[in-house]
Chains A and B, each alone.
Chain A
Amino acid sequence: MEIGRGTKVLDAAPVRGSWRRLSSPDDVLTLMDTTAEGVVACVADAGATFLAPIFDELTAIVCLSGTPMSHIGIVSREYQVPCIMAAVLGSEPADGDAVEVDCSGAEGVVRSVS
């Protein structure tokens, strides 16, 4: 079921992972010290630095602001990590919920996976 959509940075096949809202550097450090593999990170701001140490491990990124030319969009392009910018969510999943990020169409789409 679709729960949100926005502007995709790149064409990419659908990927599935575990939703995680990241709000502070401590959230990122926690993943850095464990693992960020399998995580679909949801972030509010479009700066590139917030996710820097875990970028290469993330399954996908859902950013609630910005454009593909924002810093986080540029870095996701270089990492080839599926990324949706200025995403509008109808309802936000809980941390740990399974989601799909689909950047294969005209827009990027976030779906819940039951």
Chain B
Amino acid sequence: MNKDDVNRWITYHGEISYTLTMQRTALESALIPVTAYITIAAVECYRRYPEMVQQIADAMPPEELGRAGHEFATQIDNVHLWAVSNFPLVGRVVLGGAGMLDFDADAARMAPVFDFWQRAASTYRFEDGTHQAWDAGGHATPYRAHVDKIRAGCVPVRDDAHRTQITRLNALLTSYLFLLWFDTRSGYQDTGPYLLDDGRVMLLRSFGRLGVSHFPWSAAIGSAMPYSDVLGAFVLDGVDLTVTDFGTSVTHPEDYLPHVVEFGLFDTASGGLVPIDDRGVDALAAAAKAATKQLYRNIAAMERRDKINAGAYVYFTFLRPFAELAGVELDWTVPRDSMDLYPFLELIDGSIPAPVDQVPTDYYARIP
């Protein structure tokens, strides 16, 4: 991959990420210094991902890793793929702003990252010529081969009480995973629309790593979770559905929950689909509520620097599912290669303003 190829991918990602950022605009939290940890993680990603993706690719072809995302609970998904390219690109922005970007070495650093990403993204998307949901008008259907089995495990929404049960579980898991993942939306991922024979559409929502995981803070609360990975299936009537490359659904009407006509919940930790009954749904909801309260208390008691380091770890380890599937042991210590900038970056307080005056294709600077 030469410099022109690298610049082509820089421009491609810039336009998409500009739009996603403008839609989201703000991400700071009064609990967690999100912007500070993102900038630190991004610098680490720019400086370390090029070597790490090569080690992973040496152990398993990226194409094979992309295809692995067609199975459940792998965490090879929209946002993890998006992050492989975009976190180093954000790191470029940080380093460029500090006058520390070496353009002479830049193409050589980004080329292996883009090569890994585009090969994995291509097979994740069934080699249909697209690389992201953006390219396909907001469609991402990695679980298409499982749709019939999933639909067979769904049940009609019986009454208001049943709808309330579904809504509450969904909200509690979503909120819990935002917290467990330090205010990233990557713990749960939406895919779809899966078009059904009767004209309805299905939204699949993966809730991942609910229990004890490699996140050190999960040890204190995760063991009480009755399931580690679950899949929620929402059959929607009268809803237009698309998904973003952040793995977030966009629906018309916006309030899709009253339009859920069938629902199913499955334990996917083993890679299969094991239906979860009503008692399991209630147990999971109660556990998520309790875990959220305790985890919030634990995070609130952390020092600011510990919060930054924990958040940076979450971001930096977006590459970890690929390494684990490939069987590669890598150093996930963070911060490690951002210590020269760390004293400045950790002081960032509040969101960086949305790039309203920027040209989308210039969101990430091309290599001169």
Closest approach, in angstroms, between the C-beta of B342 and any C-beta of chain A? 22
| A25: B residues at CB distance < 8 A | 30-31, 296, 299-300
B261 at the interface (CB under 8 A from A): no
Report whether B27 and A70 are in contact in the complex, using a CB–CB cutoff of 8 Å: yes
Per the bound structure, the CA–CA distance linking A5 and B300 in Å amounts to: 31
- Please report the total number of B residues contacting A with Cβ < 8 Å: 39
Contact B300 A75 (CB under 8 A): no
Q: Tell me which residues from 164 to 196 in chain B have a Cβ below 8 Å from any Cβ of chain A.
A: 167-168, 170-172, 174-176, 178-179, 182-183, 185
What mask results when residues 45 to 61 of chain A are scored 1 for a CB within 8 Å of chain B, else 0? 11111101101100000
B292 near A53: Cβ-Cβ < 8 Å: yes
Residues in B with CB closer than 8 Å to A77 are 254-255
CA gap between A32 and B26 in the complex, in Å: 25
Can you list, as one digit per residue, whether each of B31-68 has a CB less than 8 Å from chain A (1) or not (0)? 11010000000000000000000000000000000000
Judge if A68 is at the interface, Cβ distance under 8 Å: yes
Known A25-B300, A75-B178: A43·B293 in contact at CB below 8 Å: no
Within 8 Å CB of B168, what residues of A? Answer: 56
> In this assembly, does B149 line the interface, its C-beta being within 8 Å of a C-beta of chain A?
no
Quote the shortest CB–CB distance from B260 to chain A (angstroms). Answer: 12
Contact at B25–A70, with CB atoms within 8 Å? yes
Q: Which residues of the other chain, B, contact A23 by a CB distance below 8 angstroms?
A: 30
A11, A49, A50: the one contacting B182 at CB < 8 Å is A49
Name which of A65, A68, A78 has the most chain B CB atoms within 10 A of its CB.
A78
Quick one: closest A residue to B34, CB to CB? A47
Given contacts A32-B296, A65-B351, contact A47 B30 (CB under 8 A): yes
Interface size on A, as a range, is 35 or more
Known: A25-B300, A29-B296, A65-B25. A75 touches B171 (CB 8 A): yes
| A52-B292 in contact given A10-B255, A47-B31, A74-B248 (Cβ < 8 Å) | yes
| Interface contact B178-A46, CB-CB below 8 Å | no
A-B pairs under 8 A by CB, number: 128
**A67:B172 contact, CB within 8 angstroms:** no
B354 to chain A, nearest CB (A): 9
- For the complex, what is the distance from the CA of A71 to the CA of B174, rounded to whole Å? 10
Q: Residue among A11, A26, A65 with the most chain B CB within 10 A?
A: A65
Residues on B with C-beta less than 8 A from A46 are 25-28, 351
Cα distance, A47 to B172, chains bound together (Å): 16
**In whole angstroms, what is the CA distance A23 to B30 when docked?**
7
The residues of B that contact A9 with a CB separation of less than 8 Å are 254
Q: Which residues of B contact A26 (CB under 8 A)?
A: 300
Within the complex, what minimum Cβ distance (angstroms) separates A110 from chain B? 19
Q: Complex: how many Å from CA A32 to CA B294?
A: 11
Is A66's CB within 8 Å of the partner chain B?
yes
- Return the CB mask of B234-251 against A: 1 if under 8 Å, else 0: 000000000000001010
Cβ-based interface call for A44 (8 A): yes
Whether A112 sits at the interface, judged by CB under 8 Å, is no
CB contact list, A10-65 vs B, under 8 A: 10-11, 22-26, 28-29, 32, 43-50, 52-53, 55-56, 65
B167: chain A residues at CB < 8 Å are: 78-80
A79 vs B283: C-alpha distance in the bound complex, in angstroms?
18
Closest to A45 in B: B28
Contact check, B25 vs A66: say whether CB atoms are below 8 A apart. Answer: yes
Q: Are A43 and B30 in contact (CB under 8 A)?
A: yes
The 5 closest A-B pairs by CB, nearest first: A47-B29, A25-B300, A46-B26, A78-B171, A48-B178
- A75-B171, A77-B255 known; 19 new pairs, CB 8 Å cut-off, are A10-B254, A23-B30, A32-B296, A46-B28, A47-B28, A50-B30, A50-B31, A52-B175, A56-B168, A66-B25, A67-B26, A69-B23, A69-B24, A69-B250, A71-B29, A74-B248, A75-B175, A78-B174, A79-B171
Sample 26 A-B pairs with CB under 8 A, ordered by A number: A10-B254, A25-B31, A43-B30, A44-B30, A47-B26, A47-B34, A48-B29, A48-B178, A48-B185, A49-B179, A49-B296, A50-B29, A52-B175, A52-B178, A52-B296, A56-B171, A65-B25, A69-B24, A69-B248, A70-B24, A70-B26, A71-B183, A74-B174, A74-B248, A75-B178, A80-B257
